[in-house]
A and B are shown apart, each in its own frame.
Chain A
Amino acid sequence: MSRRAVIAGVGHTAFGKLPERTSWDLEVEAARAAVADACMSPSEIDGLLTDPGPVQGVLDGITPHFLRLGAQLGLNPNYTGSEILGGAGSVAIVERAALAVEAGLCDACLCVYGDSALSAGSAYTYGRGDESAFGFFGAVGLHALAAQRHIHTYGTRPEHFGEVVVAARAHGVRTPHAQKRRAISMDDYLVSDPVVEPLRRLDCCLVSDGAAAVLVTTEERAADLPCPAISLLGHAQAHSLSTYASPDHFESLPAAHCGPKALAQAGITASDIDVAMLYDCFTIVVLLQLEDYGFCKKGESGSFVEGGRIGPGGTLPVNPSGGLLAEGYGGGMLHVIEAVRQLRGDAGARQVPDAELALVSGHGLGMNTHATLVLGRNV
């Protein structure tokens, strides 16, 4: 008991095209929702960590992201900062909040992701330094290199990539706030326009305006709250910063290093996980994680996802809220929130029966960053 960190509250805005809203207006709404969800008071918040998202992370170079939001919320916290880890940022700030709370740096730390990437446009089509001279643009071009290697090495077929997005969109049908609530067929996937082959339009995640927040506090404080607290049972990060110079950068994710660490810390293995909230910026990233986290053997993710195994009612539901491919681009914070809702038994029509253990991942930049959380019902 006492200083062990738990997640006590979650909240988010609508996700989609919200041109009349600013990102900080959205972040404030998400922050208020998370504090209200925890039945805590704004005056208790003494920690603020933020993930500025792709657009703000690049453009907002003068006023740090946490400062703008902290000023809006009137906070004078004991601990604050912003994390720039691309798509691993949201999972990483929840981990950092837990460490800060457990170390006594603060008692109630708000973790906020927000961005207006859809209204701002072009966040994902940036050139990559000198490589833009060769037309190497966008996150999709980089992930196409990983997809091509997987196809070459393991014979992965288009239908295997398709299974990932067909499952995500089927999950999205059951998620009232999802940006995409229409199911798609395998044929819809196969005729989807190629962007950077082998990746099609439907292999790529959504772009969204929206914000999401998670409140981390002590187990002791949470014991007095009406909502069941969710425990952080394990956490780890691993990163591959050498990119092209790293021999297996496009074949295996740093999840292969931090996944086993986080699972071991929780005292479990991948087969114990009831809900896998896997960062899904591109379908290939889900396939690689299924292997690198040990849900299946290396190279076998294609056959693993066949037959709807990761879809609704499947033996390993992946991203039951729809994830980045259907729910909306929430930077990874929506993944944390869905894990909390599933573990609370509060996920409505998409509830995974008896969900007790969830794994949440974040993956970012040029396949460089990775962060893992293992969450459990606080029993």
Chain B
Amino acid sequence: MSDAAPTPPQPQPDAYTQPFWDACQRQSLEAARCEDCGHCFLPPGPCCPQCWSAELSVCPLSGRGRVYSFGIYRRSYHPGLPAPYVVALVELEEGPRLVSNVVGCMPEDVRIDMPLRVRFEASGEFVLPRFEPAEEEGARR
């Protein structure tokens, strides 16, 4: 007998995004960096979306950012993800934006521009980069 909650939807890594998810397993957040123009971007892909260069390397991320915008899900779309929960578009201090969750506070307390820091949480076979409220001085703009 098992009352375990159903596994939430899992990421579907491809050749370009696999390193991102591997880094999350190591509790580390990283983006792609263009060797030609320096652009730091997510999700990683075959070329730099700013200059189309294919000379790419890894851009380590601090895990600090802020809420660019968010929504509070009041209905559940998947049995493994009970409502309420917050989906936020997180603007990382290095520039890229990332869809994630804000955890560690009441949904009603989330605000645009709220400083955040990454908090890695397991979900099925994956480790997801979620975010929690951070001290103001910790989130440099």
A-side interface residues toward B, CB under 8 Å? 125, 127-138, 141, 144-146, 148-149, 152, 193-199, 242, 244-245, 250
Contact = CB atoms under 8 A, between A and B. Distances in A.
A250 B100 CA distance: 16
> How big is the B interface, by class?
35 or more
A137 B81 CA distance: 11
Contact of A132 (B9, B85, B130): B9
Nearest to B95: A245
Contacts of A198: 71
A133 B11 contact: yes
Contacts of B9: 127, 132-133
Given A145-B89, A244-B97, A245-B97, A137 B77 contact: yes
A161 B99 CA distance: 25
B52 interface: no
A152 B73 CA distance: 18
B101 A145 contact: no
A145 B72 CA distance: 10
B75 interface: yes
A197 B83 CA distance: 12
Contact of B85 (A128, A129, A135, A146): A135
Given A148-B69, A149-B112, A152-B112, A133 B75 contact: no
Nearest to A246: B97
Given A135-B8, A149-B69, A196 B101 contact: no
A128 B81 CA distance: 15
Nearest to B21: A130
Contacts of B10: 133
B49 A242 contact: yes
15 contacts: A134-B99, A135-B8, A135-B73, A135-B85, A136-B87, A137-B73, A138-B77, A141-B73, A144-B70, A145-B68, A148-B69, A195-B75, A244-B89, A245-B49, A250-B68
Contact of A136 (B69, B72, B99, B112): B99
A244 B49 CA distance: 12
Interface string B77-90: 11001000101010
A145 B87 CA distance: 9
Interface of B: 8-13, 17, 41-43, 49, 68-75, 77-78, 81, 85, 87, 89, 96-101, 112, 123, 126, 128, 130
B109 to A, nearest CB: 13
B12 A141 contact: no
A313 B42 CA distance: 48
Nearest to B126: A133
B74 A194 contact: yes
B63 to A, nearest CB: 16
Q: Which of B12, B42, B85 has the most CB of A within 10 A?
A: B12
A26 to B, nearest CB: 28
A10 B130 CA distance: 50
Nearest first, the 5 A-B pairs at minimum CB distance are: A144-B71, A137-B77, A197-B72, A145-B69, A132-B9
B9 to A, nearest CB: 4
Contacts of A149: 68-69, 112
Contacts of B71: 141, 144-145, 148, 196-199
B12 A129 contact: yes
B12 A130 contact: yes
B5 to A, nearest CB: 13
B101 A135 contact: yes
A196 B74 contact: yes
Contact of A245 (B17, B72, B78, B96): B96
Contacts of A144: 70-71
B106 to A, nearest CB: 13
A135 B49 contact: no
A197 B75 CA distance: 10
A125 B41 CA distance: 27
A135 B69 contact: no
A146 B112 CA distance: 12
Contacts of B81: 135
Nearest to A201: B75
